[in-house]
Chains A and B, each alone.
Chain A
Amino acid sequence: MNTDFSILLAGMRDSFVVDLPERCDVLEECVLALGRGDKGAFDELFRNIHSLKGSGGTFGLPIVSSICHQFESFVSAVRGRFDSLSMSHALSYVDLLRRVAETPERDGVFASAIEYDLEQLRISSMPDCASVLLVEPSIAARQFCMGALEPLSVRLVSQDRGLSALELLLHQPFDLLVAARELPDLNALGLVAALRESGGRNKDIPVILISSNTVPAPAYLHISNTIKRDAKFVSTLEHCVRDVLFLRQ
Protein backbone atom coordinates (compact mmCIF):
# COMPACT_ATOMS: atom_id res chain seq x y z
CA MET A 1 0.00 0.00 0.00
CA ASN A 2 2.87 2.37 0.83
CA THR A 3 4.45 1.53 -2.53
CA ASP A 4 1.20 2.33 -4.33
CA PHE A 5 1.02 5.59 -2.46
CA SER A 6 4.65 6.44 -3.30
CA ILE A 7 3.88 5.91 -6.99
CA LEU A 8 0.78 8.09 -6.76
CA LEU A 9 2.67 10.74 -4.86
CA ALA A 10 5.41 10.79 -7.51
CA GLY A 11 2.70 11.23 -10.18
CA MET A 12 1.14 14.10 -8.25
CA ARG A 13 4.52 15.71 -7.84
CA ASP A 14 5.09 15.49 -11.61
CA SER A 15 1.68 17.05 -12.26
CA PHE A 16 2.54 19.83 -9.83
CA VAL A 17 5.71 20.56 -11.81
CA VAL A 18 3.80 20.45 -15.12
CA ASP A 19 1.26 22.96 -13.72
CA LEU A 20 3.95 25.18 -12.24
CA PRO A 21 4.29 27.53 -15.28
CA GLU A 22 0.58 28.29 -15.03
CA ARG A 23 0.99 29.22 -11.39
CA CYS A 24 4.02 31.32 -12.34
CA ASP A 25 1.81 33.16 -14.84
CA VAL A 26 -0.53 34.06 -11.97
CA LEU A 27 2.39 35.30 -9.86
CA GLU A 28 3.68 37.33 -12.79
CA GLU A 29 0.26 38.91 -13.35
CA CYS A 30 0.20 39.95 -9.68
CA VAL A 31 3.69 41.46 -9.94
CA LEU A 32 2.75 43.38 -13.10
CA ALA A 33 -0.45 44.59 -11.45
CA LEU A 34 1.61 45.86 -8.53
CA GLY A 35 3.86 47.63 -11.01
CA ARG A 36 0.77 49.37 -12.38
CA GLY A 37 0.01 50.60 -8.87
CA ASP A 38 -2.71 48.09 -7.99
CA LYS A 39 -2.02 47.75 -4.26
CA GLY A 40 -4.72 45.09 -3.92
CA ALA A 41 -2.48 42.72 -5.85
CA PHE A 42 -0.10 42.55 -2.89
CA ASP A 43 -2.26 40.23 -0.80
CA GLU A 44 -3.02 38.06 -3.81
CA LEU A 45 0.67 37.79 -4.65
CA PHE A 46 1.57 36.92 -1.07
CA ARG A 47 -1.22 34.32 -0.84
CA ASN A 48 -0.14 32.67 -4.09
CA ILE A 49 3.51 32.52 -3.05
CA HIS A 50 2.53 31.09 0.33
CA SER A 51 0.33 28.50 -1.33
CA LEU A 52 3.12 27.44 -3.68
CA LYS A 53 5.54 27.21 -0.79
CA GLY A 54 3.24 24.83 1.07
CA SER A 55 2.59 22.67 -1.98
CA GLY A 56 6.30 22.51 -2.86
CA GLY A 57 7.10 21.34 0.66
CA THR A 58 4.34 18.74 0.65
CA PHE A 59 5.43 17.34 -2.72
CA GLY A 60 9.05 17.06 -1.57
CA LEU A 61 10.40 19.89 -3.74
CA PRO A 62 12.47 21.88 -1.26
CA ILE A 63 13.83 24.08 -4.05
CA VAL A 64 10.30 25.43 -4.65
CA SER A 65 9.85 26.05 -0.92
CA SER A 66 13.26 27.76 -0.71
CA ILE A 67 12.48 30.12 -3.60
CA CYS A 68 9.01 30.88 -2.22
CA HIS A 69 10.30 31.36 1.34
CA GLN A 70 12.77 33.98 0.12
CA PHE A 71 10.22 35.49 -2.30
CA GLU A 72 7.77 35.86 0.63
CA SER A 73 10.41 37.60 2.74
CA PHE A 74 11.22 39.88 -0.17
CA VAL A 75 7.56 40.76 -0.79
CA SER A 76 7.07 41.50 2.93
CA ALA A 77 10.17 43.70 2.93
CA VAL A 78 9.05 45.85 -0.03
CA ARG A 79 5.41 46.17 0.99
CA GLY A 80 4.40 49.81 0.70
CA ARG A 81 7.44 50.77 -1.38
CA PHE A 82 7.16 48.64 -4.50
CA ASP A 83 9.16 50.36 -7.25
CA SER A 84 10.55 49.35 -10.63
CA LEU A 85 13.59 47.68 -9.04
CA SER A 86 11.28 45.69 -6.73
CA MET A 87 9.31 44.61 -9.79
CA SER A 88 12.46 43.46 -11.54
CA HIS A 89 13.51 41.43 -8.48
CA ALA A 90 10.04 39.97 -8.06
CA LEU A 91 10.00 38.86 -11.71
CA SER A 92 13.41 37.25 -11.18
CA TYR A 93 11.91 35.13 -8.38
CA VAL A 94 9.14 34.07 -10.73
CA ASP A 95 11.74 33.18 -13.37
CA LEU A 96 13.56 30.96 -10.87
CA LEU A 97 10.33 29.09 -10.22
CA ARG A 98 9.83 28.69 -13.96
CA ARG A 99 13.26 27.10 -14.22
CA VAL A 100 12.22 24.38 -11.79
CA ALA A 101 9.48 23.44 -14.24
CA GLU A 102 11.57 23.79 -17.38
CA THR A 103 14.15 21.15 -16.65
CA PRO A 104 13.65 17.39 -16.56
CA GLU A 105 16.26 17.17 -13.80
CA ARG A 106 15.22 18.00 -10.27
CA ASP A 107 18.11 16.28 -8.57
CA GLY A 108 20.91 17.81 -6.55
CA VAL A 109 22.92 19.11 -9.49
CA PHE A 110 20.02 21.06 -10.92
CA ALA A 111 18.91 22.30 -7.50
CA SER A 112 22.44 23.52 -6.80
CA ALA A 113 22.40 25.72 -9.90
CA ILE A 114 19.07 27.23 -8.90
CA GLU A 115 20.18 27.60 -5.29
CA TYR A 116 23.21 29.51 -6.52
CA ASP A 117 21.08 31.91 -8.53
CA LEU A 118 18.66 32.22 -5.62
CA GLU A 119 21.56 33.26 -3.44
CA GLN A 120 22.65 35.85 -6.02
CA LEU A 121 19.10 37.16 -6.06
CA ARG A 122 19.03 37.33 -2.27
CA ILE A 123 22.21 39.38 -2.28
CA SER A 124 20.82 41.84 -4.83
CA SER A 125 17.23 42.00 -3.57
CA MET A 126 17.74 41.66 0.19
CA PRO A 127 21.38 42.45 0.99
CA ASP A 128 20.69 42.38 4.74
CA CYS A 129 19.06 38.94 4.73
CA ALA A 130 21.28 36.18 6.17
CA SER A 131 21.73 32.81 4.52
CA VAL A 132 21.47 29.62 6.60
CA LEU A 133 22.35 26.04 5.60
CA LEU A 134 20.41 23.45 7.59
CA VAL A 135 21.71 19.87 7.42
CA GLU A 136 19.34 17.39 9.03
CA PRO A 137 18.63 13.84 7.80
CA SER A 138 15.20 13.41 9.40
CA ILE A 139 12.33 14.90 7.39
CA ALA A 140 10.30 15.47 10.54
CA ALA A 141 13.17 17.17 12.39
CA ARG A 142 13.95 19.25 9.31
CA GLN A 143 10.36 20.46 9.22
CA PHE A 144 10.52 21.38 12.89
CA CYS A 145 13.74 23.33 12.28
CA MET A 146 12.25 25.09 9.25
CA GLY A 147 9.21 25.97 11.35
CA ALA A 148 11.46 27.39 14.04
CA LEU A 149 13.33 29.55 11.55
CA GLU A 150 10.19 30.57 9.65
CA PRO A 151 9.71 33.82 11.64
CA LEU A 152 13.29 34.91 10.91
CA SER A 153 13.95 36.74 7.68
CA VAL A 154 16.67 34.36 6.56
CA ARG A 155 17.26 32.47 3.38
CA LEU A 156 17.09 28.83 4.38
CA VAL A 157 18.67 26.04 2.35
CA SER A 158 18.31 22.46 3.56
CA GLN A 159 20.31 19.30 2.92
CA ASP A 160 19.96 15.81 4.34
CA ARG A 161 23.51 14.45 3.88
CA GLY A 162 26.98 15.55 5.00
CA LEU A 163 28.73 15.29 1.65
CA SER A 164 26.10 17.19 -0.31
CA ALA A 165 26.18 19.88 2.39
CA LEU A 166 29.96 20.14 2.07
CA GLU A 167 29.67 20.53 -1.68
CA LEU A 168 27.21 23.40 -1.22
CA LEU A 169 29.43 25.01 1.41
CA LEU A 170 32.37 24.92 -0.95
CA HIS A 171 30.47 26.67 -3.74
CA GLN A 172 27.91 29.00 -2.18
CA PRO A 173 28.24 31.68 0.50
CA PHE A 174 26.40 31.08 3.79
CA ASP A 175 26.25 33.07 7.01
CA LEU A 176 25.50 30.12 9.29
CA LEU A 177 25.57 26.33 9.28
CA VAL A 178 23.06 24.43 11.43
CA ALA A 179 23.82 20.69 11.36
CA ALA A 180 22.64 17.54 13.09
CA ARG A 181 25.60 15.75 14.65
CA GLU A 182 24.84 12.43 12.99
CA LEU A 183 24.54 12.61 9.20
CA PRO A 184 24.74 10.11 6.35
CA ASP A 185 28.01 10.08 4.32
CA LEU A 186 29.89 12.47 6.58
CA ASN A 187 28.96 13.39 10.13
CA ALA A 188 28.72 17.00 11.27
CA LEU A 189 32.12 17.02 12.98
CA GLY A 190 33.76 15.75 9.79
CA LEU A 191 31.77 18.26 7.79
CA VAL A 192 32.87 21.18 9.97
CA ALA A 193 36.49 19.96 10.04
CA ALA A 194 36.54 19.82 6.22
CA LEU A 195 34.90 23.24 6.05
CA ARG A 196 37.44 24.83 8.42
CA GLU A 197 40.31 23.30 6.42
CA SER A 198 38.85 24.26 3.06
CA GLY A 199 40.13 27.80 2.90
CA GLY A 200 36.91 28.76 1.11
CA ARG A 201 34.74 31.78 1.82
CA ASN A 202 32.62 29.87 4.35
CA LYS A 203 35.54 28.51 6.36
CA ASP A 204 34.92 30.82 9.35
CA ILE A 205 31.12 30.87 9.46
CA PRO A 206 29.46 30.09 12.81
CA VAL A 207 28.13 26.57 13.32
CA ILE A 208 25.25 25.37 15.49
CA LEU A 209 25.24 21.63 16.21
CA ILE A 210 22.04 19.70 16.94
CA SER A 211 22.77 16.69 19.10
CA SER A 212 21.06 14.07 21.21
CA ASN A 213 23.96 14.06 23.66
CA THR A 214 26.06 16.72 25.33
CA VAL A 215 29.48 15.33 24.45
CA PRO A 216 31.44 18.49 23.57
CA ALA A 217 32.81 18.95 20.08
CA PRO A 218 36.60 19.49 19.74
CA ALA A 219 37.48 23.12 20.46
CA TYR A 220 39.38 23.54 17.19
CA LEU A 221 36.09 23.22 15.29
CA HIS A 222 34.85 26.47 16.88
CA ILE A 223 31.24 25.34 17.31
CA SER A 224 29.14 28.36 18.39
CA ASN A 225 26.39 26.37 20.12
CA THR A 226 25.33 22.78 20.67
CA ILE A 227 21.58 22.34 20.99
CA LYS A 228 20.13 19.28 22.65
CA ARG A 229 17.11 17.61 21.12
CA ASP A 230 14.70 18.10 23.98
CA ALA A 231 11.26 19.61 24.59
CA LYS A 232 12.66 23.13 24.22
CA PHE A 233 14.59 22.33 21.06
CA VAL A 234 12.59 24.47 18.63
CA SER A 235 12.63 27.66 20.70
CA THR A 236 16.28 27.11 21.66
CA LEU A 237 17.20 26.82 17.99
CA GLU A 238 15.41 30.04 17.10
CA HIS A 239 17.08 31.92 19.94
CA CYS A 240 20.52 30.57 19.06
CA VAL A 241 20.15 31.51 15.41
CA ARG A 242 18.99 35.00 16.40
CA ASP A 243 21.97 35.37 18.74
CA VAL A 244 24.53 34.09 16.28
CA LEU A 245 23.24 36.23 13.42
CA PHE A 246 22.55 39.25 15.68
CA LEU A 247 18.92 39.34 14.58
CA ARG A 248 16.40 41.44 16.47
CA GLN A 249 13.60 39.79 18.47
Chain B
Amino acid sequence: MNLQRILYVEDEPDIQAVAKLALEMVGGFQVMICSGGQQALDTVGSFAPDLILLDVMMPGMDGPATLQKLRANPSTASIPVIFLTAKVQPNEVAQYQALGALNVIAKPFDPMTLAAQVQKIWDDHA
Protein backbone atom coordinates (compact mmCIF):
# COMPACT_ATOMS: atom_id res chain seq x y z
CA MET B 1 0.00 0.00 0.00
CA ASN B 2 1.33 3.44 -0.93
CA LEU B 3 1.50 6.14 1.69
CA GLN B 4 -0.71 9.03 0.56
CA ARG B 5 -2.80 10.54 3.33
CA ILE B 6 -1.21 11.78 6.54
CA LEU B 7 -2.92 13.27 9.58
CA TYR B 8 -0.46 15.42 11.53
CA VAL B 9 -1.40 16.26 15.13
CA GLU B 10 0.61 19.18 16.53
CA ASP B 11 -0.31 22.15 18.71
CA GLU B 12 2.40 24.58 17.52
CA PRO B 13 1.19 26.71 14.57
CA ASP B 14 4.74 27.37 13.25
CA ILE B 15 5.58 23.69 13.22
CA GLN B 16 2.18 22.79 11.73
CA ALA B 17 2.82 25.13 8.80
CA VAL B 18 6.36 23.92 8.11
CA ALA B 19 5.44 20.23 8.43
CA LYS B 20 2.42 20.54 6.15
CA LEU B 21 4.46 22.23 3.43
CA ALA B 22 7.35 19.81 3.85
CA LEU B 23 5.15 16.74 3.61
CA GLU B 24 3.09 18.09 0.72
CA MET B 25 5.76 19.79 -1.39
CA VAL B 26 8.71 17.50 -0.79
CA GLY B 27 6.89 14.22 -0.14
CA GLY B 28 3.83 14.71 -2.33
CA PHE B 29 1.52 13.54 0.47
CA GLN B 30 -1.99 14.74 1.21
CA VAL B 31 -1.86 16.25 4.68
CA MET B 32 -4.51 17.22 7.22
CA ILE B 33 -3.45 19.13 10.34
CA CYS B 34 -5.11 18.84 13.75
CA SER B 35 -4.14 21.05 16.71
CA GLY B 36 -4.84 18.55 19.45
CA GLY B 37 -5.72 14.99 20.38
CA GLN B 38 -9.47 15.50 20.60
CA GLN B 39 -9.60 17.26 17.23
CA ALA B 40 -7.64 14.34 15.75
CA LEU B 41 -10.14 11.83 17.14
CA ASP B 42 -12.98 13.91 15.68
CA THR B 43 -11.28 14.16 12.28
CA VAL B 44 -9.74 10.75 11.75
CA GLY B 45 -12.97 9.10 10.61
CA SER B 46 -13.71 11.56 7.82
CA PHE B 47 -10.13 12.03 6.61
CA ALA B 48 -9.25 8.32 6.74
CA PRO B 49 -5.46 8.74 6.92
CA ASP B 50 -2.99 6.03 5.96
CA LEU B 51 -0.71 7.28 8.73
CA ILE B 52 -0.90 9.57 11.76
CA LEU B 53 2.00 11.73 12.94
CA LEU B 54 1.46 12.50 16.60
CA ASP B 55 3.30 15.06 18.70
CA VAL B 56 3.98 13.62 22.15
CA MET B 57 3.72 16.79 24.23
CA MET B 58 0.46 18.63 23.66
CA PRO B 59 -1.76 20.51 26.11
CA GLY B 60 -4.94 18.66 27.00
CA MET B 61 -4.83 15.19 25.47
CA ASP B 62 -1.18 14.37 24.77
CA GLY B 63 0.17 12.01 22.10
CA PRO B 64 0.20 8.76 24.10
CA ALA B 65 -3.35 9.40 25.41
CA THR B 66 -4.52 10.10 21.86
CA LEU B 67 -2.93 6.88 20.63
CA GLN B 68 -4.63 4.97 23.40
CA LYS B 69 -8.03 6.33 22.29
CA LEU B 70 -7.27 5.53 18.66
CA ARG B 71 -6.37 1.96 19.58
CA ALA B 72 -9.54 1.57 21.67
CA ASN B 73 -11.75 2.33 18.66
CA PRO B 74 -11.99 -0.63 16.23
CA SER B 75 -12.30 1.69 13.20
CA THR B 76 -9.02 3.50 13.99
CA ALA B 77 -7.17 0.81 15.92
CA SER B 78 -5.00 -0.30 13.03
CA ILE B 79 -3.92 3.09 11.65
CA PRO B 80 -0.13 3.30 11.94
CA VAL B 81 1.20 6.09 14.17
CA ILE B 82 4.60 7.79 14.35
CA PHE B 83 5.41 9.94 17.38
CA LEU B 84 7.34 13.23 17.18
CA THR B 85 9.23 14.27 20.29
CA ALA B 86 12.41 15.90 21.54
CA LYS B 87 12.87 12.96 23.90
CA VAL B 88 14.55 10.27 21.82
CA GLN B 89 16.37 8.21 24.43
CA PRO B 90 16.28 4.49 23.50
CA ASN B 91 14.18 3.67 26.58
CA GLU B 92 11.69 6.38 25.64
CA VAL B 93 11.56 5.21 22.02
CA ALA B 94 11.00 1.64 23.23
CA GLN B 95 8.24 2.90 25.51
CA TYR B 96 6.49 4.65 22.60
CA GLN B 97 6.84 1.56 20.43
CA ALA B 98 5.38 -0.54 23.23
CA LEU B 99 2.35 1.76 23.13
CA GLY B 100 1.94 0.80 19.48
CA ALA B 101 3.85 3.49 17.57
CA LEU B 102 5.79 2.47 14.47
CA ASN B 103 8.71 4.67 15.42
CA VAL B 104 9.72 8.09 16.67
CA ILE B 105 10.96 11.15 14.78
CA ALA B 106 13.17 13.58 16.72
CA LYS B 107 12.12 17.21 17.14
CA PRO B 108 13.08 19.69 15.96
CA PHE B 109 12.95 17.86 12.63
CA ASP B 110 14.75 18.92 9.48
CA PRO B 111 11.98 20.20 7.16
CA MET B 112 13.99 19.18 4.08
CA THR B 113 14.20 15.52 5.13
CA LEU B 114 10.98 15.05 7.12
CA ALA B 115 9.09 13.48 4.20
CA ALA B 116 11.92 11.05 3.50
CA GLN B 117 12.10 10.08 7.18
CA VAL B 118 8.37 9.38 7.25
CA GLN B 119 8.50 7.41 3.99
CA LYS B 120 11.42 5.31 5.25
CA ILE B 121 9.63 4.38 8.47
CA TRP B 122 6.55 3.50 6.42
CA ASP B 123 8.58 1.37 3.98
CA ASP B 124 10.42 -0.39 6.81
CA HIS B 125 7.12 -1.47 8.32
CA ALA B 126 5.34 -2.31 5.07
Q: Is the interface of A mostly helix, strand, loop or mixed?
A: helix
Interface segment out of the listed B1-9, B34-42, B107-115: B107-115
B50 to chain A, nearest CB (A): 21
Q: How many angstroms from the CA of A62 to the CA of B21 in the assembled complex?
A: 21
Interface residues on chain A, size class? 20 to 34
Q: Most A CB atoms within 10 A — which of B22, B25, B59, B113?
A: B25
* A-contact bits for B30-73, CB 8 A (1 contact / 0 none): 00000000000000000000000000000100000000000000
List which B60-100 residues lie within 8 A (CB) of chain A: 86-91
Q: B121 an interface residue at 8 Å Cβ cutoff?
A: no
Q: Which of B59, B91, B111 contacts A235 (CB 8 A)?
A: B91
B22 to chain A: closest residue by CB: A5
Given known A-B contacts A12-B18, A54-B107, A59-B14, A5 and B87 have beta carbons under 8 A apart:
no
Taking the nearest CB of chain B, how far is it from the CB of A145, in angstroms?
10
- CB of A51 within 8 Å of the partner chain: yes
* Chain A 212-245 near chain B by CB (<8 Å), digits 1 or 0: 0000000000000000000110110010000000
Asked if A8 is an interface residue, CB under 8 A from chain B, the answer is yes
Q: Which residue of B lies closest to A232 (CB)?
A: B90
- Asked whether, in the complex, the Cβ of A1 is within 8 Å of the Cβ of B25, the reply is yes
Q: Identify B86's interface contact among A5, A56, A147, CB under 8 A.
A: A147
The B interface is mostly helix, strand or loop, or mixed, namely: loop
Q: Given that A12-B17, A65-B108, A143-B109 are known contacts, is A5 also in contact with B26, CB under 8 Å in the complex?
A: yes
Contacts of A110 on B, CB cut-off 8 Å?
A: none
How many whole Å from B112's CB to the nearest CB in chain A?
A: 7
Query: Taking A1-B26, A9-B18, A140-B113 as contacts, is the C-beta distance between A57 and B90 under 8 angstroms?
Result: no
Closest CB in chain A relative to B89 CB, distance in Å: 6
Q: With A57-B107, A150-B86 in contact, do A2 and B12 touch (Cβ < 8 Å)?
A: no
* Residue contact A8 to B90, C-beta cutoff 8 Å: no
CB pair B12–A9 under 8 Å, yes or no, is: no
Q: Are A147 and B17 in contact, with the CB atoms below 8 A?
A: no
Rounded to whole angstroms, the CA-CA distance of A196 and B26 in the bound complex is 44
| Min CB gap A103→B, angstroms | 21
- A16 CB–B CB distance under 8 Å: yes
Q: Which B residue's beta carbon lies closest to that of A65?
A: B108
Give the contacting residue for B108; candidates A2, A47, A143; CB below 8 A.
Answer: A143
Taking the complex as formed, is A55 at the interface, i.e. its CB lies under 8 A from any CB of chain B? Answer: yes
Chain A 137-149 interface mask (CB, 8 Å, partner B; 1/0): 0011001101110
- Contacting B at CB under 8 A, from A55-79, are 55-59, 65
| B108 in contact with A144 (CB, 8 Å) | no
CB<8 Å pairs between A and B, sample of 23: A1-B26, A2-B25, A2-B112, A5-B21, A5-B26, A8-B21, A8-B25, A12-B17, A12-B18, A12-B21, A47-B59, A51-B12, A51-B14, A54-B15, A55-B12, A58-B108, A59-B18, A65-B108, A140-B106, A143-B106, A150-B86, A234-B88, A235-B91
Q: Which residues of A contact B (CB under 8 A)?
A: 1-2, 4-6, 8-9, 12, 16, 47, 51, 54-59, 65, 139-140, 143-144, 146-148, 150-151, 231-232, 234-235, 238
Residues of B at the A interface (CB closer than 8 Å) are: 12, 14-15, 17-18, 21-22, 25-26, 59, 86-91, 106-113
